[in-house]
Chains A and B, each alone.
Chain A
Amino acid sequence: MSTEQISDVLPQVATRPRRRRRMPAEVSILLVLVGIALAFEALGWLFVGQSFLFNKQRLVVMILQVSVVGIIAVGVTQVIITGGIDLSSGSVVGVTAMMAASLAQTSDFARAVYPSLTDLPVVFPIAMGLIAGLIAGLINGSLIAYTGIPPFIATLGMMVTARGFAKWYTRGQPVSMLSDSYAFIGTGANPVITFLAVALIFHVALRYTRYGKFTYAIGANVQAARVSGIDVGRHLIKVYAIAGLLSGLAGIVTSARAISGQAGMGVMYELDAIAAAVIGGTSLAGGVGRMTGTVVGTIILGVVTSGFTFLRIDAYYQEIVKGMIIVAAVIADQYRQRKRRRG
């Protein structure tokens, strides 16, 4: 961390009131989003001869394609605020997609995973997916809280194990022929609504509940949190459980959109979700981050992907540029924080 302690350097503040409203971090990220969108708009008129933004379908797809990553990012943002990381989300998406889908099959299908459990009401596959995700999260959290291994290792283990479990579940076979009511979850703007709804819920949770305050406290200084009477272990389990639950939800949405469950679903989603959180201003050092920032960060990822497709640029370039955006976001964040510390 920084070796110089600014607090020792500055004269005491009360003598010189320097009250001015700070610009919330999200505003600058929002400006970046607007800038990127306008850049694509200009390039659109130049090279493609049409508008990038004034196309309703494209706007929906823009967010739709990142809503699953967004749902994961809502969970992972909270994990990162505690100073941790969750690498398992993508694999948990794979497992929960398989398990939820296996309870959503129709009886028309001769080779259902559970032939006696077809045509179930849609709550069963949903509950299955959520519970599976929750359990994965509880295991992550308990490992971190009670064995003291770093979150990176615990969730790396879960990442590999869960992916293996997803493949083992049907011996690699996809789970298809899902019911219409299940598929409905993934149709139209439903994934987008789901994403924004969970983002709103956890925005409120982070800002206005004790759960949120403790989440920031643990990330800011875990020892001080412990001395202040916070049961750090139990709280971390909660945070990772919520992240797992949201990964489960993401698995449901993914399989509903594809109308099938596949063991390879969600590969690399964990990294996209972490990227969305980081672009949105969440600090990997812990203690800093907001849900609104994560939503904007997610949409930035969507806009970039759409924009490149729109400009008919190769997918390879997309990844190259995405990587650079992530690094640029962190550099900008560091700079912003340094400025904030100077007051």
Chain B
Amino acid sequence: MQRADTIDRAPEPVGYLLEVEHVRKEFPGVMALDDVSFRLRPGTVHALMGENGAGKSTLMKIIAGIFHPDRGSFRIKGQEVRLDSPLHALQHGVAMIHQELNLMPFMTVAENIWIRREPLTRLGFVNHRELNRRTAELFTRLKIAIDPETEVRDLSVANRQMVEIAKAVSYDSDVLIMDEPTSALTEREVHHLFEIIRGLKAAGRGIVYITHKMNELFEIADEVSVFRDGQYIGTRAAAAVTRDEIIRMMVGREISQMFPKEDVPIGDVMLSVRDLCLDGWFRNVSFDLHAGEILGVAGLVGSGRSNVAETIFGVSPATSGNIRIRGEDVRIGSPHAAMAHGLAFLTEDRKETGCFLILDVLANMQMAVLTRGFVRAGMVQSGPLTRQCEEMQRALRVKTPDLHEMVLNLSGGNQQKVLIARWLLTKPSILILDEPTRGIDVGAKAEIHRLITQLAGQGVAVLMISSEMPEVLGMSDRVMVMHEGRVTGFLDRKDADQVKVMELASQ
């Protein structure tokens, strides 16, 4: 099954690894891809960019054998093929690294990587020693420091991502598809990944690289193709294109200001945290958050930022320390208690802890406020509540046919807006945002940034956790930096820059 012919393969013919021509893909009611063409040269990284729902994921899934094109031709190394399944794609030398992690948590790293290709003993049992040896070898080559015998569930999200990457590399494929591989990685790990990618390039492999991050594009990509609304917009050499041009191609309009934080009067202390500890996660966290202020929280993944937010919101109550809201000592033992004090919390993981994916937009918007109002004698006052949800939909420009659409069918950016609407309906005075724009497209991102600024202008105190440096620097009045469960420093807006934040974050 596996590609054993990689060693004695003939030298790469000059040509394309992949040629997709005039491909069309339609889903019931929607044209996902309309006459799209795409080519991948050996030894290059070809980035795909576009807003969520632009069609890049559909194209990628066609390349990976998950979808079939309705029309158009598809050639791998000059040979016309029709891929029936991801397995079939692998056999043709196309491997994909999934954005949603596809590892089995109760199996070891080694078992995950070589699944379906396990080395066997003579009796037909899995040869674990050989399995681990191969994994160790692979990891050495890629400079990954993970024990092959660890169970995947014990790994951090970033390490799981590295295992996914190693797994894809292990197929020795000619084409690797990476779908936002850095979304869960820290700066240092991103560098590591880029080293791996450069190695693959040097070995003549081609990489299809989907990303929302502009700086990655300029660092790693050779070519970039832009999509919008299922249409192919154009391909440029990464060295000859500007950031603004790409954004223009993606949104079809100019975005003058991506991080529109305006100065607003800073009010009284709304939230005051002293020596907050959660055993095993973080200790002695202290800060003040003022009305109208945006306090950015920076730090590497695993520095405890999200845990602090969860603790303040009562998801995992503190082991010790003090929380004061508007000068009053409070005990927050549950999210419900936190909401009673005017807190709202947009969680980091939209799919895991945010959306009710199989429920409609209306249900998703109203769930939090229902715990506090719009109920008389147990009956939901659906009239007024629906009207408020409709207003939210308009104000936040949630793109959905109606409020009865399943949230699953919305794009990432619109899902995020639905969640923001959920919290705004509770009229919070303190808003905690954990990665408010992760994995959403440029247009929606700018809208959300504008909205956050507006809220701050209305006197809402905002605590914003973000891994995106430009977002933290552009939006925050002050930046709090965390490292390994401790606050390592605060930076004012005027002093904060990328270097200082990184210094504090990686001491």
Interface string of A1-34 (1 = CB under 8 A from B): 0011111111111111111000000000000000
A217 within 8 A of B: yes
B410 contacts across to A, CB distance below 8 A? 7, 13
Question: Which chain A residues in 171-226 approach chain B with CB under 8 Å?
Answer: 208-211, 213-214, 216-217, 220-221, 223-226
In the complex, the answer to whether A12 meets B358 with C-beta atoms within 8 Å is no
B51 contacts across to A, CB distance below 8 A? 12
A18 contacts across to B, CB distance below 8 A? 29-30, 401
C-alpha gap A7/B102 in the complex (Å): 18
C-alpha gap A10/B378 in the complex (Å): 38
A208 contacts across to B, CB distance below 8 A? 379-380, 382
In the complex, the answer to whether A7 meets B415 with C-beta atoms within 8 Å is yes
In the complex, the answer to whether A228 meets B371 with C-beta atoms within 8 Å is yes
In the complex, the answer to whether B370 meets A210 with C-beta atoms within 8 Å is yes
Q: Given A216-B363, A341-B406, does the pair A287, B358 have CB atoms closer than 8 Å?
A: yes
B401 contacts across to A, CB distance below 8 A? 13-14, 17-19
Q: Given A8-B412, A19-B402, A214-B370, does the pair A224, B354 have CB atoms closer than 8 Å?
A: yes
B266 within 8 A of A: no
Q: State the total of A-B contacts with C-beta under 8 angstroms.
A: 162
A36 within 8 A of B: no
Nearest CB in chain A: distance from B438 CB, A: 14
In the complex, the answer to whether A210 meets B29 with C-beta atoms within 8 Å is no
In the complex, the answer to whether B57 meets A220 with C-beta atoms within 8 Å is no
C-alpha gap A77/B422 in the complex (Å): 27
In the complex, the answer to whether A13 meets B378 with C-beta atoms within 8 Å is no
Interface string of A138-159 (1 = CB under 8 A from B): 0000000000000000000000
A19 contacts across to B, CB distance below 8 A? 401-402
C-alpha gap A16/B32 in the complex (Å): 11
A15 contacts across to B, CB distance below 8 A? 229
Count B-side interface residues using an 8 Å CB cutoff: 65
Q: Given A10-B30, A11-B31, A14-B399, does the pair A343, B409 have CB atoms closer than 8 Å?
A: yes
C-alpha gap A6/B370 in the complex (Å): 29
In the complex, the answer to whether B335 meets A16 with C-beta atoms within 8 Å is no
In the complex, the answer to whether A229 meets B336 with C-beta atoms within 8 Å is yes
In the complex, the answer to whether A11 meets B30 with C-beta atoms within 8 Å is yes
B55 contacts across to A, CB distance below 8 A? 11
C-alpha gap A216/B364 in the complex (Å): 11
A319 within 8 A of B: no
A227 within 8 A of B: yes
A340 contacts across to B, CB distance below 8 A? 406
B482 contacts across to A, CB distance below 8 A? none
Looking at A12, A214, A225, the one whose CB has the most chain B CB atoms below 10 A away is A12
In the complex, the answer to whether A16 meets B382 with C-beta atoms within 8 Å is no
Nearest CB in chain B: distance from A171 CB, A: 43
Q: Given A13-B399, A209-B380, A343-B29, does the pair A227, B408 have CB atoms closer than 8 Å?
A: no
Question: Which chain B residues in 41-65 approach chain A with CB under 8 Å?
Answer: 51-55, 57-58, 61
A127 within 8 A of B: no
C-alpha gap A339/B67 in the complex (Å): 16
A312 within 8 A of B: no
Nearest CB in chain B: distance from A339 CB, A: 8
B282 within 8 A of A: no
A230 within 8 A of B: yes
A6 contacts across to B, CB distance below 8 A? 27, 408-409
C-alpha gap A279/B418 in the complex (Å): 32
B405 contacts across to A, CB distance below 8 A? 13
C-alpha gap A16/B405 in the complex (Å): 14
Beyond A7-B410, A224-B352, A230-B367: 8 further Cβ-contacts under 8 Å? A8-B99, A10-B27, A10-B409, A11-B30, A11-B31, A210-B380, A227-B354, A343-B29
Give 12 pairs: A residue, B residue, CB < 8 Å, sorted on A.
Answer: A10-B30, A11-B230, A13-B30, A13-B399, A16-B31, A19-B401, A217-B367, A221-B352, A223-B353, A224-B355, A227-B354, A341-B406
Interface residues of B (CB under 8 A from A): 27-32, 51-55, 57-58, 61, 66-67, 98-100, 102, 229-230, 313, 315, 334-336, 338-339, 345, 347, 352-359, 363, 366-368, 370-372, 375, 378-380, 382, 399-402, 405-406, 408-412, 414-415, 422
Interface residues of A (CB under 8 A from B): 3-19, 208-211, 213-214, 216-217, 220-221, 223-231, 287-288, 339-343
